[in-house]
Every structure is written in C-alpha cells, then in structure tokens.
Amino acid sequence: MQLFPVILCGGSGTRLWPLSRGGFPKQYLKLVGKHTLLQQTVLRTQNLPDAAAPILIANSEQRFLVAEQLREIDVSAQATVLEPVGRNTAPAIAVAALLALRSSPDALLLVLPSDHVILHAAEFSSAVRQATRAAADGALVTFGIEPAAAETGYGYIRAGEALQAGENVCHVEKFVEKPDLATAQHFLREGGYLWNSGMFLLPAASYLEELSLHEPETRRLAELALDQAQADTDFLRLDAAAFSGCRDISIDYAVMERTRRAAVLRAGGLGWSDVGSWSSLASLSERDASGNTTIGDVLAEGVSNSYIRAEHRLVAAVGIEDVVIVETPDAVLVAHRDKVQDVKRIVTQLNAHGRTESVTHRCVVRPWGSYEGIDHGDRFQVKRIVVNPSAQLSLQMHHHRAEHWIVVKGTALVTNGDQQIMLSENQSTYIPLGTTHRLTNPGKIPLELIEVQSGTYLGEDDIVRLEDSYGRISNT
C-alpha cells in the first residue's frame, strides 16, 4: 500500500494576529525553528516508508505562497489543488482520495493540517506506522493526543478497547465537542479521553465509501469538481460550480462521527501543538530565568512570565507580568496571557471597519516578489519593491497615477510605452499616467527599487493588466 500525504493549507490566521493575517496565515510563518509550519509539515512526511509526493489543498489566493515555500525546501508536490471556495475538510479530503486512487487502488491518505507543530519526528513516524497497520485493515484512524492539561480549545475523543492486544489504536467510543473548563477537568481526572488533533490516516477507497453513504451529494460534487478541473501551470483548479455546491462540512461531522470504522491512535510523545494562541506558542519557546520569551529587539526590566516579540523596531517593557506583546510594522498587540483567545475579536472589529490590517501586512507577498509601503500622504505614496530573479510584473497601466522607479540593487529591464530600457543601481525612469509598462528582473540576484507614486487615486485596484505570467485576473 502506498501512503499519500495530504496537506491541508487552509486557515484564516485570526488567532495569532498581528503576525498571522488572512492573506498570510500562520502556516506560512517561521514560528518555531528555521522552517515555516507548512515546510515542517511537508518535510515531516519525506522519510516515511512508501510515501508518495504530497498532495496539497490550498486556495487560489495563496497558491504562490505554497509554491514558493515548497521550492525553498526543494520538494515537488504530486498536485497542488486549488479550491475556488472553502468547503471545510470533508470535500477537500474527498478530492485528495480520488486523486490518490488514480495512482494506486489501495492508496492510504495521511491527512495533516499544515499549521501544527510536532517537535519529535521519530515519535511521529512511529505513530504513522501504527496507524498504517490499522488503516491497512480498513480502519479510519484519527490521531488522538494524550492531554497534558484541561484544555477547552480542543474537541475530545473517548477511546475504547484496543483493536488488537498491545496496540495503541482503539475503537472510538464517542466524539465530544469542545467542553467547558469543568468538563475538561473531569475528562482529565477520569482518563481515557484524548485531544482531537485533526490528523488522520485513511484508506482512500473506504473514506469515499463512507462519504457516499453519509454525504452522497458532497461525494458526487467533489468528484465532478475534480473531473472538470483545469490545469493552471503547476496547479489544478477545481471546477468552481461543482465544488461550490459541496456541503461545508468537516470530516468529523461527515464521516468520523457516523462510521463504524472509526478508530483512534493514542499518540503520545509527539510534542504536538496546533499553535492555537500566543500562549500556546509561548509554551513552545525558550524562556529565561524570569519566564520570559523575547524575540527581536526587546529590552525588558522587571518583566516576568511574558512573551515579547519585536519584528520591526525596539520594544521596551517595564514592570509587567503575564502579558503578550507582538510588534509588527503596522500593528502592535498587547494582551494578558489569559485573554489571548480573544484576539480574534480584534480581527472581527478590524473587518467590521473595513481595515486591511486583518488581511495583509505592510510587506505584501506577490508571485514575483513583494512590495512594502514606506510612506504615504495626499496624492503620493512610496513603496519598496523586490522582484525575484527571472520574475516579472504584469504588463499594465494605471488610470489615476504616474510612477517613478529608482533602482537601488540589481538590474531592471523596464518596458515603458514603446521603449525597453535597462537600468542598474542608482538609475531611474518615469512612467507617465496611462502608459503601458512592465518591470522584469533579468538578473541572478533580487532586484530592489523604490517606487514613488503620484496621482489622484493610489489604490491597488487601479491596475489594468494587459498580460500576466501568473494567470491573475484580479488585482493581486
């Protein structure tokens, strides 16, 4: 049997705001270690026996983030499937199962969220081997984590008798919704309850059989969306009409809580965390003698049991305890450690007021590189633009603004109306309003330039794309 890792790359990024944002959620961040959470998840699967190249399920807006992060670790995906809309995990896993069965009639799916931390790779590999044996016998296995505390942020699973003597895979007695604190404390005292991790090992064919039994229309539409999918460079775009018709439902509700084949692996010693809050990230980080974690340019005096992270400038803290401070170029969070779960309420307020800080950072990633706002005022805006080697922006024009480009590093090939000019460091050009233009990096190092915009309207939606290497049809 061949094992197909399935990496689920969804997530809105609200609980680790302001570092994690809607357009750049936590799976793409380096929160623990030198790799991002997505990269760690993919690398974790590389040495598993009989593992195929991973199948990634992502959304269209983040497709180039996924591609770039795989390129950085030199891993090629079997497929990167793009969902036109989010429909939760049950339809996404159905698409992955159908893809895997095209390669192997007895395919097993190792379903992993892309935003979890697992500190102990050897224990994870051992857990996968145990779950594989049970799945090979037809069980739909979920990974249950031995609880270390009375957590109210996780669902729970009540484990029954072992499938086989001496094994850590058990029948599922019941699934339990996220409990209140008193119930969670009762679970911890009683024993036999596990945290529901959201990781699964499933026979692809068996999963589809159960989905057909319990959610037949979702199974049918998922298959139709895949059959009518369109290849787009390195991506596979699911048919929008068919996939949008799928029910928005998790694998737990659609299958695991209904099937008689559900089993749970007692997965201990993984060092697992879903990094669901700043306090959980703090618990994974190194602390000094006062119980503090400080990252970046931080000065602390009389501070204890706090997590302070500076991304952009000096953060100084005096005489406080049990707080989280996270500084980014455009937003600062200050919260008591006991209230970090309420950060999502701030994101809700930002969205209600139409503010972009919930979605994008000041430095915005694009498939060709990135741009960062430096300054702005009435009728002007200044940006720092970085273009990756061999990359280029779209051929475009603007109705309301003109632009000045000044190269500070690398070489730029500029299309400016009917002209093509090569610019090196300390050279510049002017793009008049309404002129067709394009920026290309023909070199081997990143191109960096300063862009000065001037005009009556400077929004990103004043871009008319005439040609684009990345197939973008929106202003992204």
Enter the pTM of the model: 0.89
Residue 166: its pLDDT value, please?
62
Q: Tokens in use for 160? A: 């029954």
Summarize pLDDT for 410-468 with one digit per residue, the tens. 999 999 999 999 999 999 999 999 999 999 999 999 999 999 999 999 998 899 999 99
Q: Which phi and psi angles does 176 have, rounded to 5°?
A: -125, 130
* pLDDT mean over 321-340: 96
* pLDDT mean over 110-132: 95
* 311 and 329 Cβ atoms separated by less than 8 Å: yes
Q: Which phi and psi angles does 98 have, rounded to 5°?
A: -65, -40
Nearest to 309 by CA among 284, 290, 292: 292
CA–CA gap between residue 80 and residue 75 (Å, rounded)? 12
CA–CA gap between residue 365 and residue 23 (Å, rounded)? 9
Is the confidence at residue 62, as pLDDT, over 50? yes
* pLDDT mean over 256-277: 93
Residues of the chain above pLDDT 70, percent = 99
* pLDDT mean over 264-290: 93
* pLDDT mean over 157-161: 93
Is the confidence at residue 124, as pLDDT, over 90? yes
For 424, 428, 463, the CA distances from 398, given in Å and listed in that order, are 24, 19, 5
H or E segment and range at residue 350: helix 343-352
Residue 377: its pLDDT value, please?
94
Q: Which architecture characterizes domain 363-467 according to CATH? A: Sandwich (2.60)
Residue 308: its pLDDT value, please?
98
Summarize pLDDT for 176-199 with one digit per residue, the tens. 999 999 999 999 998 999 999 999
Nearest to 428 by CA among 451, 446, 445: 451
Residue 234: its pLDDT value, please?
85
Residue 151: pLDDT band (50, 70, 90) is confident
* 118 and 272 Cβ atoms separated by less than 8 Å: yes
Is the confidence at residue 475, as pLDDT, over 60? no
Residue 476: pLDDT band (50, 70, 90) is very low
3-class SS string, 208-262:
HHHHHHHCHHHHHHHHHHHHCCEEECCEEECCHHHHHCCCCCCHHHHHHCCCCCE
Instruction: Decide whether 3-273 matches 363-467 in CATH topology.
Output: no
Residue 473: its pLDDT value, please?
65
For 12, 163, 391, the CA distances from 278, given in Å and listed in that order, are 15, 37, 36
Is the confidence at residue 84, as pLDDT, over 90? yes
Would you list the domain boundaries of the chain? Answer: 3-273, 288-347, 363-467
Q: Which strands make up the sheet holding 464-467, listed edge to edge?
A: 419-423, 412-416, 437-440, 395-397, 464-467
* Mean of pLDDT over the chain: 94
Residues of the chain above pLDDT 90, percent = 86
Q: Report the CATH fold assignment for 3-273.
A: Spore Coat Polysaccharide Biosynthesis Protein SpsA; Chain A (3.90.550)
